[in-house]
Amino acid sequence: MVASRAIGSLSRFTASRTLRCSGYICRSFTRSSALLTRTHINYGVRGDVAVIRINSPNSKVNTLSQELHSEFMEVMNEVWSSSQIRSAVLISTKPGCFIAGADLNMLNSCTTSQEVTQISQEAQKMFEKLEKSTKPVVAAINGSCLGGGLEVGIPAAFDMMLTGRGIRADRAKKMGLVDQLVEPLGPGVKPPEERTIEYLEEVAITFAKGLADKKITPKRDKGLVETFYLTELTSYALSIPFVRQQIYKKVEEKVRKQTKGLYPAPLKIIDVVKTGIEQGSNAGYLSESQTFGELAMTKESKALMGLYRGQTQCKKNKFGAPQKEVKQLAVLGAGLMGAGIAQVSVDKGLQTILKDTTLPALGRGQQQVFKGLNDKVKKKTLTSFERDAMFSNLIGQLDYRGFEKADMVIEAVFEDLNLKHRVLKEAEAVIPDHCVFASNTSALPIGEIATVSKRPEKVIGMHYFSPVDKMQLLEIITTEKTSKDTTASAVDVGLRQGKVIIVVKDGPGFYTTRCLTPMMSEVIRILQEGVGPKKLDSLTTSFGFPVGAATLVDEVGVDVAKHVAENLGKEFGERFAGGSLEMLQQMISKGFLGRKSGKGFYIYQEGVKNKNLNSDMDSILASLKMPSQPDVSSDEDIQYRLVTRFVNEAILCLQEGVLATPTEGDIGAVFGLGFPPCLGGPFHFVDLYGAQKIVDRLRKYEAAYGKQFTPCQLLVDHANNPNKKFYQ
Amino acid sequence: MAPHSSTLAWKIPWTEEPDFRMISLLTYTLKNLPNTSKWALRFCMRPLSSSSQLQAAAASQTKSKKTLAKPNIRNIVVVDGVRTPFLLSGTSYKDLMPHDLARAALSGLLHRTSVPKDVVDYIIFGTVIQEVKTSNVAREAALGAGFSDKTPAHTVTMACISSNQAMTTAVGLIASGQCDVVVAGGVELMSDIPIRHSRKMRKMMLDLNKAKTLAQRLSIISKFRLNFLSPELPAVSEFSTSETMGHSADRLAAAFAISREEQDEYALRSHSLAKKAQDEGLLSDVVPFKVPGRDTVTQDNGIRPSSLDQMAKLKPAFIKPYGTVTAANSSFLTDGASAVLIMAEEKALAMGYKPKAYLRDFMYVSQDPKDQLLLGPTYATPKVLEKAGLTMNDIDVFEFHEAFSGQILANLKAMDSDWFAQNYMGRKAKVGLPPLEKFNNWGGSLSLGHPFGATGCRLVMAAANRLRKEGGQYGLVAACAAGGQGHAMIVEAYPK
């Protein structure tokens, strides 16, 4: 029952349509008139059951705000003091949401940890009172129930609080988080969502009555940890302190390994649970609220909350609804990207043509889509029938048949300007006038692709990230000629594909590739200076990158990396200097293209989890070895040489207007490139870490290496004026 | 009569929350019953009064049409139809095979109609769970029943409307001039179902078959694992949604806010009416069946009128513990077969038959198999009425398939809802509620039983026989089926 809020609120817990009851003894006083109008919470009495309805006005979700707390306490006090009421049902009248956790605005408006601690203590009081309720309270949960919301419904969530991961309703029932599931209803004589909530309420009322009449007994009279599906034997084992110490240690180890110590919350939660179990619940509560207060004030918390807000913003179409909704999509090229784009389209019900030039290539792409869907069947998030229905939204073909009905064509052919020109001309010969032509490219300027177009206002860039079905980001690139409606259409399709979207201006490397390339250049330089790929990987992951730098080159593909580095190197000259492209060239000539060819810096084998270094790389690395400079080659310096180049380039993109907002820069960096989420993205990082410190580092490296480290003007401005922040 | 009228009252004071009740049904009943007499009482009197000339004349005046005959299309008639007694699975039929039951129905039909075997042009049977040995059960049964081996036969399957499909296929063959005389029927034997080896085991056995050397065989056998032996049962759940039909029916009842009590009452009504029809000898389509090695079966054995108190004691069968669908308000697993003799009218007359009814317009519909699995009748009813140019008021006899009480009541509520019609059926106004006093008056699938493949013919014969008995002109048959499909057909009484 301890602090799951901090992380819980950032992730989704979808214990949809679940029910939970906790039964207690009855106490009675006089009953006051119940029908006072409150803002967030109201209740009515049916028989002897109070039905408490939560509905925060003007919001899609209910969040645990201070007003909601106080109203809830008022209502509960009335419920407890009424002699007529013997049990209560707690339900949200918002379809699809019970309580979505703590109100982030509320937390954000706090300036000190004491304030947050106080809020947390008030919430605790509420949860404690609810837990010790003298009358049975049944929480009827329909839809997302996150963080504190979960605590209202379910005062014992052990696994939840550590991972903050989403749990489906049926799984929640198995874990014992909820007692009963109510399946959503279909149409009746009123809208299904409405009737489902009514039905949930009816079922909850019968349960509340049953609990009050002692006809039903909740199966959980055990303490905190026991509810977490333990057998009697293990629960006996847990009563031995030594065993408990071992478990704490084990859990801590696991958490440390997963978070690399970069996210303070999970470890603190373990501390709090430990305090609660070893020193009693009061000490636990106190420790919880204090820790929560401290955590809310950490940089990590600010960065993550900022990221959460940014993500919400990038899930909206600020260009408005397109004139014509895309119903028929066509994807050119059934490679990794093309098939990925097709997959995220067909599973949202979008009719999609997948075109390639040869049957084997097309078949490979179709199989990729099928496998992507089938994996979800194996994970039981899809039924085989749903998979089949989705898969039949996909039409594979080798010609342009049906393109005359396409509303949007996304080309994902090889990164070769001539080829892109060819397919654009081929497509334009058959597609209708309103059809958008989108190019999925990571570096070729969209303007150059559009030069051969008859209708450049319909040409746009849609830069997906690999693997498309896993990576959330979509970078949309507009040229000066791209019309607003074309942009609106592209954003609309991207949102339907479930993407988080940033819209940037055209230019070499757009935003994401452009930020990554100088960092990659530095990666090569660092490798040349004798830092091994494994060491480099561990330095980058311990800084918070999800994938190590050397592994990233392997994943992207050495040939792609070289292609991009060359192109952008020509454009940006010395600012992209650093490592020698010769390394990539030699790797390509030896066939070390990264994961796709089985060899890169590492050796990749099917079914082998721990990858080994590719020993054939030694000679290449030796032949290109450069001396390292000791004063800028400490572990920390290596990390910052990589990160500051990334950050500097990101800020330059904002300075040059490639980026419209810092938010998009942060979202693009975190969701597309794996910039450490605990830092909140390059712009949050500058705000929280301090522009001056970053400039100082850049100057130090500039002195050692040259102009590639020269801080951009906007960053210098921020350093010179500490009041200047990207986020106010 | 007295016990019926007390159990069939719709005004039982269980109701604390009147909004959950079937107000519409209640008010309808009250509107049509100016005095305090219960409608069941009235029902009991109907057979007596309906024979009076006066009432028959009055009824025919309100009809919007005289007959549904269409120019240039052959009139198609049901000469007669029979069925074996429908039995609970695992009782007297449990050692039979499906074609045995089907053969009994065919023999019964031959006996009842004395149709010369060589006149029959074609035979069609419906079935759902197929016995793999007799996958074309129509042909196996026909051969055994002594039909000419020159009469082709095929088997159709469309879940619970399989024999409806058999009959409408026959209608198509006759209307298009391909045939003059067709026997249509259906059979289901739930006492025995094909339980298979697991896919892994089957694969191993098939590989073993192909293996040529001992080494090959051994290598295949070495792959054997104990879990290969776990058997595979015929799916009880909807393939597309993995939801069992009972579960879906429970959700449907909840969606239409139909209470447990309403469902139990409706089931009780079905059983009471079936008992009464059985006692009064109205179920004339039933033919006795001498089961080899056992006694002759003469009547349905699933009709068991109980009391509401006893029914209330049952636990929910599908959604536990708060669901409303129980064993008592669902149709039970049934063995049985049915068959009807369908002819072109001129052929029947030429052969000297006095047909029982015309088969007129029919309609198949389908909808969402998840949330509207059992709403077929709601969708099919207005369509078939419009096609025939009739209104709900023209129908004298309703025979709806009762899969679950909740399903029937949900369909009635859906037909009575403007909101449902507007939002899901694309209609301006509601379909309208079939009057309950004309509805399944001789019991239904809940009480008589529901051998999936055989129910359709029973519905048509019940409608035809009721029309003759009660004196109406038009009957409406409707049924839901797995897969979210549905069917409705107009049966017109043959002039006496």
Q: d(Cα A601, Cα A594) in Å, to the nearest integer?
A: 7
Find which of B20, B237, B240 to mutate to test the A interface (most A CBs within 10 Å of its CB). B240
Give the list of residues 6+ apart from residue B157 with CB closer than 8 angstroms, or none. B126, B127, B128, B130, B165, B453
Residue A303 belongs to some domain of the structure: no
**Does A502 lie in the same domain as A516?**
no
Give DSSP secondary structure letters for B257-321. T--HHHHHHHHHHHHHHHHHHHHTT--TTB--EE-TTSPEE-S-S------HHHHHTSPPSSSTT
**Does A565 lie in the same domain as A707?**
yes
**Does A388 lie in the same domain as A335?**
yes
Query: Could you tell me if A17 and A169 are in contact, meaning their C-beta atoms sit under 8 angstroms apart?
Result: yes
User: Tokens 């057998």 identify what position?
Assistant: A231
Q: d(Cα A306, Cα A679) in Å, to the nearest integer?
A: 10
**Does A494 lie in the same domain as A605?**
no
Residue A417 belongs to some domain of the structure: yes
The per-residue pLDDT for A258 is 66
Domain of A698 in residue numbering reads as 512-720
Residues on chain B touching A47 (C-beta within 8 angstroms)? 16
Residue A190: which CATH number? 3.90.226.10
**Does A480 lie in the same domain as A343?**
yes
CA distance to A461, A491, A519, B144, per residue, from A428 (Å): 16, 21, 37, 67
Ramachandran assignment for B131, one of left (phi > 0), alpha (psi -120 to 50 degrees), beta (any other): beta
Query: Could you tell me if A511 and A442 are in contact, meaning their C-beta atoms sit under 8 angstroms apart?
Result: no
The per-residue pLDDT for A244 is 66
Q: d(Cα A51, Cα A208) in Å, to the nearest integer?
A: 10
Least confident of A61-70, B212-221, B445-454: A61-70
Residue A419: which CATH number? 3.40.50.720
* Of residues B413, B414, B403, the one with CA closest to residue B440: B403
Q: d(Cα A195, Cα A265) in Å, to the nearest integer?
A: 39
**Does A648 lie in the same domain as A597?**
yes
Domain boundary among A486, A507, A528: A507
pLDDT greater at residue A25 or residue A380: A380
User: For residue range B18-64, what is the model confidence (pLDDT) as tens digits?
Assistant: 333 333 433 333 334 334 333 333 333 333 333 334 444 444 445 66
Partners of A548 in beta bridges: none
Asked if B371's CB is within 8 angstroms of A192's CB, the reply is: yes
Least confident of A76-90, A250-264, A640-654, B378-392: A250-264
Asked if A186's CB is within 8 angstroms of B368's CB, the reply is: yes
Exposure class string for B303-328: b at 16+ Cβ within 10 A, else e: bebbeeeebeeeebbbbeebbbbbeb
Domain boundary among A456, A490, A507: A507
Residues on chain A touching B254 (C-beta within 8 angstroms)? 185, 195, 199
Tokens of A698: 């850049």
**Is residue A242 very low, low, confident or very high in pLDDT (cuts 50, 70, 90)?**
low
Helix (H) or strand (E) holding A330, with range, is strand A328-332
Q: d(Cα A708, Cα A641) in Å, to the nearest integer?
A: 10
Task: Provide, rounded to the nearest whole percent, the portion of chain A with pLDDT above 70.
Answer: 79
In this predicted structure, the answer to whether residue B448 has a pLDDT above a threshold of 70 is: yes
DSSP B143: H
Partners of A483 in beta bridges: none
A636 is catalytic: no
Residue A180 touches chain B, beta carbons under 8 Å: yes
Residue A596: which CATH number? 1.10.1040.50
Closest in B257, B372, B419 to A186, CB measured: B372
Angle made by CA atoms A672, A677, A682, in degrees to the nearest 5: 75
Q: Which residue of B lies nearest to A195 if distances are taken between CA atoms? A: B255
3 state DSSP class of B252:
helix
> Can you tell me the mean pLDDT for A333-354?
95
Residue A153 belongs to some domain of the structure: yes
Give DSSP secondary structure letters for A106-129. HHHH--SHHHHHHHHHHHHHHHHH
Q: d(Cα B345, Cα B36) in Å, to the nearest integer?
A: 45
**Does A261 lie in the same domain as A183?**
no
Partners of A443 in beta bridges: none
Angle made by CA atoms B473, B477, B481, in degrees to the nearest 5: 175
CA distance to A33, A501, A699, per residue, from A483 (Å): 60, 18, 41
In this predicted structure, the answer to whether residue A324 has a pLDDT above a threshold of 90 is: yes
* Of residues A69, A71, A82, A80, the one with CA closest to residue A39: A71
Give the list of residues 6+ apart from residue B228 with CB closer than 8 angstroms, or none. B197, B198, B200, B201, B204
Considering only CA atoms, give the Rg of chain A: 28
Residue A607 belongs to some domain of the structure: yes
pLDDT greater at residue A626 or residue B65: A626
* Of residues A309, A319, A315, A314, the one with CA closest to residue A727: A309
User: For residue range B380-391, what is the model confidence (pLDDT) as tens digits?
Assistant: 999 999 999 999
**Does A261 lie in the same domain as A196?**
no
Domain boundary among A460, A490, A507: A507
CA distance to A414, B53, B266, per residue, from B59 (Å): 78, 10, 28
Residue A27 belongs to some domain of the structure: no
Q: d(Cα A21, Cα B400) in Å, to the nearest integer?
A: 41
**Is residue A178 very low, low, confident or very high in pLDDT (cuts 50, 70, 90)?**
low
- What's the number of domains chain A is made of? 4
**Does A144 lie in the same domain as A234?**
no
Q: Which residue of B lies nearest to A216 if distances are taken between CA atoms? A: B321
The per-residue pLDDT for A452 is 96
3 state DSSP class of B451:
coil
A328-332 vs A408-411, strand pairing mode: parallel
**Does A569 lie in the same domain as A468?**
no
**Is residue A2 very low, low, confident or very high in pLDDT (cuts 50, 70, 90)?**
very low
Residues on chain A touching B238 (C-beta within 8 angstroms)? none
Residues in chain B, overall count: 496
Least confident of A209-218, B289-298, B469-478: A209-218
Residue A44 belongs to some domain of the structure: yes
- pTM assigned to the model: 0.77
Residues on chain A touching B240 (C-beta within 8 angstroms)? 383, 385
Q: d(Cα A88, Cα A139) in Å, to the nearest integer?
A: 8
B87-88 vs B334-344, strand pairing mode: antiparallel
* Of residues A677, A686, A681, the one with CA closest to residue A722: A686
Query: Could you tell me if A228 and A175 are in contact, meaning their C-beta atoms sit under 8 angstroms apart?
Result: yes
* Of residues A179, A176, A84, the one with CA closest to residue A138: A179
A500-505 vs A473-478, strand pairing mode: parallel
Q: Which residue of B lies nearest to A388 if distances are taken between CA atoms? A: B240
User: For residue range B176-205, what is the model confidence (pLDDT) as tens digits?
Assistant: 999 999 999 999 999 998 889 999 999 999
**Does A374 lie in the same domain as A240?**
no
**Does A616 lie in the same domain as A635?**
yes
Asked if B424's CB is within 8 angstroms of A185's CB, the reply is: no
Q: d(Cα A86, Cα A664) in Å, to the nearest integer?
A: 52
Residue A727 belongs to some domain of the structure: no
The per-residue pLDDT for A682 is 94
Q: How far is A401 from chain B (nearest CA, A)?
A: 31
User: For residue range A280-295, what is the model confidence (pLDDT) as tens digits?
Assistant: 667 777 777 777 767 6
> Can you tell me the mean pLDDT for A65-75?
81
Residues 249-268 of B with CB under 8 A from A: 251-252, 254-257
> Can you tell me the mean pLDDT for A204-226?
67
> Can you tell me the mean pLDDT for A382-395?
92
Q: d(Cα B122, Cα B183) in Å, to the nearest integer?
A: 6
Residue A412 belongs to some domain of the structure: yes
